[in-house]
A and B are shown apart, each in its own frame.
Chain A
Amino acid sequence: MKQSASPAAPPTPTPARPRAPRTAVVVVLAGLMLAAVTIASIGLGARDISPLEIVRILLHPGAEGYNGDVLWTERIPRTLLGLTVGAALGASGLIMQALTMNPLAEPGVLGVQQGAAVFVVLGILFLDASSVQGYFWMALTGSAVTAVLVFLIGTRTNAGSSTIGLVLAGVAVAAVMSSLITLLVVRDEAVYAHLRFWSVGQLTGRGQFLGQVLPFALTGLVLALPLGRTLNLLSLGDETARGLGIRVERDRLASAAVAVLLCAAATAAVGPVAFVGLVAAHTARMLVGADHRWSLPLSMACGAVLLVGADTAGRLVIDHVEVQVSVMTAFVGTPFFVWLARRRDLVRM
């Protein structure tokens, strides 16, 4: 606290030094986990294909047979899509938490994904959007509008703390949005069937969207990577950040825009998947601490591992039935959410 204390014992470098080897371990572990879920996702499925066969097919692309088709047209694109979308959700969750200083912030919980869904429906109904690119622009608009709305409501509530206010605002906005969706599609059988398929977040049959979503998702991820330092400075509070020469409003807006872009790309590709961003961000912070330069890429990796792992598990838990990835992540993510909500420091901030 005292000025004289800081030169004697500089607080920042001391904990950082022992963390360096730990960070290396974490990075290696993350890489291994990513490799493991990727291999599992390509190797496991309703159709048993022996590992040898898989290696042979991978080494001779465009070769023969039904197994080759299964791999090249379904499992591999699906796995890559899962990795991309998971990374996008993980990054988006961490950025939202850092910006709102809210451990419960997440695109699904805050209703941003429902907002994206409403606009996708509007696009299908009135603008004849049918490609994923069409969905993407609608989802982007919807995410942005909803994010602004939820933020405006959430920061003005009487709910005791802005943490809870944001969640309540998210729930209310999500309820309005899903009612609007039902209202819009209830009489149009074709749109309804389409939306029903889309609005339960899943990777099944979405592999073909990979090429269309990849540019947006990769742009978002590349833009997100250098945000670590900005987020570190913003998390010091507006006054301090401004004192350090940061243009707070501009940087916050830019970071939020990246988060919305990532969320929109993910939602346009696979539909709403809740709790991935939440779990990924917290896991990343638990592993490497509050430094966003490390936690942001790690959150991407955690999101990718979680989504692809959940998707693979969803293929295997019940015979002949694929449990959608959004259902799987809800079962993993909710206990986590409840645990966070129970923490003492959260409710009375």
Chain B
Amino acid sequence: MPQTHAPRADGARSLGQASRDTAAELRAATAARLRGAHRAGIRRARLVACVLVLMLLALLVASILLGGVKKIPAGDVLPAAFGLRTGLADYVIFRIRLPRALAALLAGALFGLSGALYQRLIRNPLATPDMVGISAGAGAGATTVLLFAPAVPFGTSLAGIAGAFALVATVLALSRHGGSVDTYRLVLVGIGLSAVCTAYVNYLFTVAGQHGIAQVMRWLVGSVNDATWEGVSTLAGALAVCGLCTALLGRSLGSMSLGDQLALGLGTRVGAVRIATLLVGAAAAALATSVTGPIGFVSLISGPIAVRLVGADRSVALAVPIGAVIVLGADVLAQHGPVISPVPTGVLTALLGAPYFVWLILRRRQGATT
């Protein structure tokens, strides 16, 4: 306090001049420091992104090379990847392992994206698609179509999106409170409505014939076991579209993190951006869920890890590769981990994610919430 007022000792006449000078200096210094911090932040984000991409590549290679039931000699893998080998190697690599690895990677990316979007928008690490019930709604929709109208092209994906949107609309409508959405009420209502969807899927499980049971199972525990190229293309399209939308929303989200009033002052259309973000997040989670089933807790973990690594401003972009690393890593572990394998991927993410969730709710509030 006394130091900042030091120029005032000069006297009344020069006071205005002096404080203007110091103000200008201060502004310049702050701007320089901010620029420096910005640059350092970008450098750090680049570094982290590079590390994540390397991890992803390593996991992809591991996922393709590590043997399942059929051992493919490592020497055959590379030729097969370029289409130089036919037969078993080609079949195993192209029909089974590669789509599986890509599906895990893309689904993880989508879960990470949607989780980070929701966490950034609602400003609470608990407000993720899992908690709000989007995954359960998507599962209920997708399972219904799978069992009763399996022939409709892209039927499961569309039904998944429809179920997710219906559920997120219901949850938001039910958790409104005097014009604003209360996070904890949101989570509680989400838990309740998820229970209904789970009960419905459980019910479908009992009416499904032998053929349908495997498919319903996938919606009880998420798994990438029978990923196909069709699923991979759905996921890739979803990631492209949702990623583009997120990039367009990015600046508005940034200004909204300053608070609604400031954001309005900066010319952001707060209401529209909020709805658009909710829709993009719901679509990302719903599409991923419609292909892989609910792979739990990925959307919850990715965002806070990203915030930890690079700060809140770039967390949404970075949550994408982090989610991909988590699901692909969990899938490699679920397939080949000692003692436990093979298990559905969703089991492992829940086992890793739920304790983290506990830590999240146990942590004392110290302003470090997203």
Given A168-B126, A330-B195, the answer on whether A341 and B361 have CB atoms closer than 8 Å is no
Within 8 A of A (CB), among B211-235: 221
Contact of B343 with A by CB under 8 A: yes
Known: A156-B362, A172-B357. A182 touches B221 (CB 8 A): yes
CB-based nearest A residue for B185: A347
Inter-chain CA distance A330–B348, complex, in Å, is 27
Complex CA–CA separation, A200 to B364 (angstroms)? 37
Contact of B185 among A200, A321, A341 (CB under 8 A): A341
Q: Which B-chain residue is minimally distant from A149 (CB atoms)?
A: B358
Contact call B202/A342, Cβ cutoff below 8 A = no
Is the C-beta of A337 less than 8 angstroms from some C-beta in chain B?
A: yes
Asked whether A347 lies within 8 Å of B205 as measured between CB atoms, the reply is no
Count of B interface residues, CB-CB < 8 Å = 45
Q: Which among A172, A173, A333, A337 has the greatest number of chain B C-beta atoms within 10 A?
A: A172
Interface check A274, CB cutoff 8 A: yes
Q: Which of B196, B199, B354 contacts A179 (CB 8 A)?
A: B354
A219: CB under 8 A from chain B? no
Q: Are B188 and A180 in contact (CB under 8 A)?
A: no
Residue of B nearest to A161 (CB): B184
Q: Give the docked Cα–Cα distance between A156 and B362 (Å).
A: 6
Say whether B355 contacts A182, CB under 8 Å: no
Query: In the complex, A171 Cα to B364 Cα: how many Å?
Result: 19
How many A residues, CB 8 Å from partner? 44
Q: Is the CB of B192 within 8 A of A334?
A: yes
Given A180-B351, A331-B196, A334-B193, check contact A164 B206 (CB 8 Å): no
Q: With A157-B361, A157-B362, A342-B175 as given contacts, are A164 and B184 in contact (CB-CB < 8 Å)? A: yes
- Asked whether, in the complex, the Cβ of A158 is within 8 Å of the Cβ of B354, the reply is no
Which one of B174, B200, B361 contacts A172 once the chains associate, using CB atoms below 8 Å? B361
- CB-based contact A200/B205 at 8 Å: yes
B203 touches which of A168, A172, A176, A324 (Cβ 8 Å): A324
Would you call B351 and A167 a contact (CB within 8 A)?
A: no
B198 within 8 Å of A (CB atoms): yes
B206 in contact with A160 (CB, 8 Å)? no
The 6 closest A-B pairs by CB, nearest first: A330-B199, A341-B188, A179-B350, A337-B192, A157-B361, A176-B354
Which residues of A are in contact with B by a Cβ distance under 8 Å? Answer: 104, 109, 153, 156-160, 164-165, 167-169, 171-173, 175-176, 178-180, 182-183, 186-187, 200, 274-275, 321-324, 326-327, 330-331, 333-334, 337-338, 341-342, 344, 347
28 A-B interface contacts by CB (under 8 A): A153-B361, A157-B361, A165-B361, A167-B188, A167-B191, A168-B357, A171-B191, A172-B354, A175-B353, A175-B354, A176-B354, A179-B346, A179-B348, A182-B343, A183-B343, A186-B344, A187-B342, A323-B206, A327-B200, A330-B195, A334-B199, A337-B191, A338-B189, A338-B192, A342-B175, A342-B177, A342-B189, A347-B177
